[in-house]
């Protein structure tokens, strides 16, 4: 058996409480033979609970020592992928059926991974994640609050989100500096239809570029002075607001106005 040391540089904080592990797996409602991904399995404590469901399990682990440890400890039918999950070609890994994810996410990769999950949301049927409580609060934040931002808007556009429970920091080894939270995500089916998703998110990203600036200043890279004036005429007071005050539907209406002003909303688009 391989002996390894936990690496704080990789965000390795292992949850060992068997009751909590079972509770997390139960939230995923896994059926036999369903495809399940676990990202950052660590020493495999959550992995062993997942295997009890009879799922087809794929693990993503960046730590070479842990990969060997997992190979030694787990049955051969478990797929262990060594490497950075953020750099993996997910398209080549997607099965024909939808995937479930159940993970205690390494803290360092949580935010970029969430953005990637949003981008690939149609591939998943349910996602159960344990992550920093502060990050969970940002994901669920509403317009007009301090925690609301691009991550909030994007995750809420692509997923319905349920806050399951809090996990106190002393339950991890080694204990992190903050408590964790478990979220359950379902791909959303009632999101507003976007005419051009790439353009929409590029505009939204720009509006959050500098949280201290009003929309008019953050949109200068996209719009000329004349176009900004026209936007102000069509949507009075919008240019003096800050991005964190806009709801999802206000962003949708804003971007549609920008498409019309810039000529992107051509007759062929309608």
117-127 pLDDT, tens digit per residue, is 999 999 999 99
In this structure, the answer to whether residues 88 and 180 fall within a common structural domain is yes
pLDDT at position 263, please? 85
- CA distance readout (Å), 63 to 67, 92, 214, 239, 261: 6, 22, 43, 47, 50
Q: Is residue 20 part of a domain?
A: yes
The domain in which residue 227 lies consists of 197-261
Q: Is residue 267 part of a domain?
A: no
Say how many domains are in the chain.
2
In this structure, the answer to whether residues 201 and 170 fall within a common structural domain is no
Domain boundary among 187, 222, 244: 187
In this structure, the answer to whether residues 88 and 127 fall within a common structural domain is yes
In this structure, the answer to whether residues 183 and 75 fall within a common structural domain is yes
Q: Is residue 245 part of a domain?
A: yes
Q: Is residue 252 part of a domain?
A: yes
Residues of the chain with pLDDT under 50: 1-4, 7-11, 266-270
Q: Single out the residue of 59, 152, 56, 49 nearest to residue 97, CA to CA.
A: 56
CATH of the domain at 247: 1.10.8.100
Does the reported pTM lie above 0.85?
Answer: yes
Q: Model confidence over 226-239: pLDDT tens digits? A: 999 999 999 888 89
d(CA 184, CA 137): 13
pLDDT at position 5, please? 52
């Amino acid at each position: 058996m391989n002996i390894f040391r936990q690496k704080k540089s990789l965000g390795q904080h292992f949850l060992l409480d068997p009751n909590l592990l079972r509770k997390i797996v139960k939230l995923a409602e896994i059926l036999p033979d369903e495809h399940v991904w676990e990202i950052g399995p660590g020493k495999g404590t959550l992995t062993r609970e997942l295997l009890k469901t009879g799922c087809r399990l794929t693990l993503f682990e960046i730590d070479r020592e842990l990969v060997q440890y997992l190979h030694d400890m787990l049955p051969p039918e478990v797929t262990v992928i060594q490497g950075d999950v953020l750099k993996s070609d997910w398209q080549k890994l997607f099965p024909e059926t939808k995937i479930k994810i159940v993970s205690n996410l390494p803290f360092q990769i949580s935010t970029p991974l969430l953005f990637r999950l949003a981008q690939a949301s149609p591939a998943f049927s349910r996602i159960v994640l344990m992550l920093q409580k502060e990050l969970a609060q940002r994901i669920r934040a509403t317009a007009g609050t301090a925690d609301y931002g691009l991550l909030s808007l994007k995750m809420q556009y692509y997923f319905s989100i349920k806050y399951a429970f809090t996990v106190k920091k002393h339950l991890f080894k080694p204990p992190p500096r903050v408590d964790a939270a478990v979220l359950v995500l379902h791909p959303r089916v009632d999101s507003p239809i976007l005419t051009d998703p790439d353009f929409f998110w590029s505009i939204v990203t720009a509006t959050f570029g500098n949280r201290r600036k009003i929309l008019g200043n953050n949109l200068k890279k996209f719009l000329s002075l004349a176009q900004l004036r026209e936007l102000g005429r069509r949507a009075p007071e919008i240019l003096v607001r800050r991005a964190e005050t806009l709801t999802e539907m206000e962003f949708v209406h804003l971007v549609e106005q920008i498409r019309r002003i810039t000529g992107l909303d051509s007759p062929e688009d309608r």
